[in-house]
Structure 1
Amino acid sequence: MRVLIAPDKFAGTLTAVEAAEAMAEGWRRQAPADELDLAPMADGGPGFVDVLHAALGGEVLAVTVRGPHGEPVPATLLRVGDTAYVESAQACGLHLLDGDAEQATTAGVGELVAAAVDSGARRVVVGLGGSGTNDAGAGLLHALGATADGPLDVGAAGLTAVSAIDLAPARDRVAGVELVAASDVENPLAGLFGATKVFGPQKGVTEERIPVVDGWLEGFAAVAGRRTALEKGAGAAGGLGYGLLLLGATREPGLTLVAEAVDLGRRAREADLVLTGEGAFDFSSRAGKVPYGVASVAGEALRPCVALAGKVLVGSREMRALGVEAAYAMVDMVGEERSFGNPAGALADVAARVARSWSQ
């Protein structure tokens, strides 16, 4: 039997690569004769560069950029031919947030893009997701050369002082380079479905502050380009999508981009069963999350898809609506203490148990 193993990261515990290896270890324990094909996945958020490097090879270049509060942080970019892949979370990720999200900047992402351009890349793909920022991409624009009559690199709070902006230097900096914003988020920059209202609370923006911060982004859009603020994906990564779109970037679904890079469709057709997974499997997984995307590919290949997760928060009906035949929760099968104390071992144990039911 041939099994394709294509999980996302288990946020806070396992990278996608580690999760795939743990699932494979457990499966082999129960069904050593099965042939396993590991295809760790990402949707543009944390793990984006690692997953693509594992699939595509290429050269990893180490750089140091500004973190969300201005501190130096290590980051990497992946060069594959003329294309460079960068991961915005390495420069402005939620895990780097150590203070007020209203004062967190995306300047480090702009420095990553600049490093990619300086490396000779003619196409730069920026993975969006897992950000701790909400500055409408102003920091990115500043790092690439944009100027304004107010600060662009001190977070959303600085946008109140911006009444004029010159984007020409930033556009010149990336002239001749194809920019791609890799994100499955389709939200506009501001408003009821915008970056602040939908994603601000997970970054620490309180309910009473949402209208204020959203107003800052609305004001900035009035200066930098209101029409672009309405485009799909402008609200991705706290408006980092907006900053990239202002520079002429196109948006591609991150999951689709990764799936094509790892040739997931062909690998699913060659498998008898597809395994996927993530930390929490719930109905929000439909919104561009890895398990739903993998299940969709499996469905097109007419292959069953099974999910392993830290927690499963959907019933069988919702599960099937997501294209998943069955889902298994680590906390239910091996207990919460083991799931968090030894996530790789716990996931391997669950995979071994699932193999008893699913391996031929």
Structure 2
Amino acid sequence: MRVVVAPDSFGGTLSASAAAAAIARGWNEAAPGDDVVSMPLADGGTGFLDVLHTALGGTVHTLTVTGPLGEPVEGSWLQVGDTAYVESASACGLQHVPRPDRTPSVARAATTRGVGELLVAARDAGVAEIVVGLGGSATTDGGAGMLAVLGAVAVDADGSPLPDGGASLRRCVRLDGPVDLGGARLVAAADVDNPLLGTHGAAAVFGPQKGADDVAVADLDAALAVFADVLAAALGTDVRDEQGAGAAGGMGAALLALGASRVSGAGLVRELVGLDAALDDIAGDGAGLAVTGEGSFDWQSLRGKLVTTVARAAADRGVPCLVLAGQVSVGRREAAAAGVDAAWSVADDAGGVEASMADPSGTLTALAARVARQWSH
């Protein structure tokens, strides 16, 4: 049997490369005669740069930038020819905010300034195109921090620059200064298709995982609504309802307002890494299988994230697709509609979340071996 192993990262526990290695190791232990191809993927969020660098080569540039809480962090971008790939999560990702620090006040104040600093570095290198991977952010500032670094500063009625963070945008009246991208084209590689505002928007859907309680979510959504008006007035286009505007805490809205073209982050990586060719190779003889996975296979996964991108690509070729995830909350019917034949939870298999988190690689390997014994033929 030929098996393509193409997972995303598992939250903060395993990178996509480590997850692929663990799954492949377990599969090979249980079914040593199978031909297993590891193809770690990413959807625009954490791991975007690592996966693309492995597939495309190029030069990784690492620099100290402003983190989501204003502290210095190491951010990176990848140069391949005249294209720059920026992983926004490297500058403003949730990994920079320890779980105990994810509070409503932090959710209100987190900034995307570091992403702007990465864009400036790419711009100054003279690239023709900048692809921004969106996802995994700790921020809900609508990209205001990023815009400020690029030259367009959010100000209040007195003309004073607003403090960092999404909550202060409620007092925003305009953007002062033009954005300078040096003529580079922008591409927003979004991991989700959420709009900016409302029940499916940046604050409501993603705010809680960043520390926002119900009051903070309402405050941030109202502030982003004000900022959407400011963006429309300053940049000439209203993007609040566009798909992907809510990605990365609304950074997608700022990029779209700047004229960025939106692509699926997972779809872009799928193309650049060569997933389709790998699936073509195993399709047609009934002896091919795709295995993907992520930290939590939940309803957000069904809104354009990587596992469903892999599943649909496999389904298009008549290749069964399995999901091995840290936790699974998607029902069988919903999973089947997304092209997933079966899904397993590492936590369930290991006897609980704590057990799986204590040895994420080992428990994923054990689960892969158990699944291989069921599916290999």
TM-score, with normalisation over the residues of structure 1? Answer: 0.94
Q: Could you tell me how far 1:201 is from its partner in structure 2? A: 2.0
**Residue of structure 2 in register with 1:154 after alignment:** 164
Which residue in the other structure is 1:4 paired with?
A: 4
Partner residue of 1:350?
367
In structure 2, relative to structure 1, the CA distance for the partners of 1:150 and 1:228 (3 Å cut) is farther
1:113 partner amino acid: L
Q: Do residues 247 (structure 1) and 258 (structure 2) align?
A: yes
- Alignment length (residue pairs): 357
What displacement does 1:153 show?
5.6
- Report the Cα offset of residue 167 of structure 1: 4.5
Query: Residue 8 of structure 1 contacts residue 16 of structure 1 at CA under 8 Å; is this kept in 2?
Result: yes
Residue 39 of structure 1 and its aligned partner are, at CA, apart by 1.0
Contact 2:65 2:117 in 1 (8 A): yes
On the 8 A contact 2:108/2:216 being kept in 1, the answer is no
* Within-5 A mapping of 1:316-335: 316-335=332-351
Native 8 Å contact 1:67 1:108 kept in 2: yes
1:105 corresponds to? 111
1:164 to 165, 174, 179: 174
Name 1:118's counterpart in structure 2.
Answer: 124
- Indicate the residue corresponding to 2:74 in structure 1: 74
CA deviations 1:224-252 (Å, max 9, x no partner) are: 31613333222211111122122221111
Contact 1:105 1:153 in 2 (8 A): no
Matched, 1:236 2:243: no
Partner secondary structure for residue 270 of structure 1: helix
Cα distance in 1 for partners of 2:95, 2:296 equals: 18
Residue in 2 aligned with 1:52?
52
Match of 2:134 among 128, 135, 144: 128
Q: Which runs of 5+ in 2 are unaligned?
A: 283-287
Matches of 1:119 and 1:256, distance apart in 2: 26
1:287 to 303, 310, 313: 303
The one-letter code sitting in structure 1 at the alignment partner of 2:211 is G
Say if 1:241 and 1:265 are closer, same or farther in 2 by CA, change over 3 A. Answer: same
Distance of aligned partners of 1:229 and 1:38 in 2 relative to their CA distance in 1, 3 Å threshold: same
- The answer as to whether partners of 1:138 and 1:152 remain within 8 angstroms in 2 is no
Q: CA deviation at 1:128?
A: 0.6
Q: Is the 8 A contact 1:151 1:161 kept in 2?
A: no
Cα drift, residue 259 of structure 1:
0.6
Does 2:275 align with 1:268?
no
User: Given that residues 193 and 304 in structure 2 are in contact (C-alpha distance below 8 angstroms), is that contact kept between their aligned partners in structure 1?
Assistant: no
Say if 1:265 and 1:301, in contact at 8 Å, map to a contact too: no
In structure 1, C-alpha distance between the alignment counterparts of 2:304 and 2:274, rounded to whole Å: 18
Matches within 5 A, 1:73-92: 73-92=73-92
CA RMSD, aligned part only? 1.8
- Give unmatched runs, 5+ long, in structure 1: none
Q: 1:313 to 1:196 in 2, by over 3 A?
A: closer
56-65 or 210-219: bigger deviation:
210-219
1:211 is matched with: 218
Q: Deviations over 1:20-43 (max 9, x none)?
A: 001111111122232221111111
Structure 1 residue matching 2:278: 3-state secondary structure: helix
Q: Matches of residues 183-198 of structure 1 in structure 2 within 5 Å? A: 183-198=190-205
Letter in 2 for 1:91: A
What secondary structure does 1:60 align onto?
strand
Q: 1:152 to 1:87 in 2, by over 3 A?
A: farther
Per-residue CA deviation, residues 314-339 of structure 1 (Å, 9 max, x unaligned), is: 34333322211122222232322442
- How much identity, in percent, do the aligned residues show? 52
AA partner of residue 266 (structure 1)? A
Runs of 4+ in 1 over 6 A off after TM superposition: none
When residues 144 and 19 of structure 1 are mapped into structure 2, their CA distance, relative to the original with a 3 A threshold, is same
Secondary structure at 1:278 match in 2: coil
Task: Flag the 1:317–1:223 CA change in 2: closer, same or farther, 3 A.
Answer: closer
Contact 2:193 2:303 in 1 (8 A): no
Question: Residue 260 of structure 1: CA displacement?
Answer: 0.6
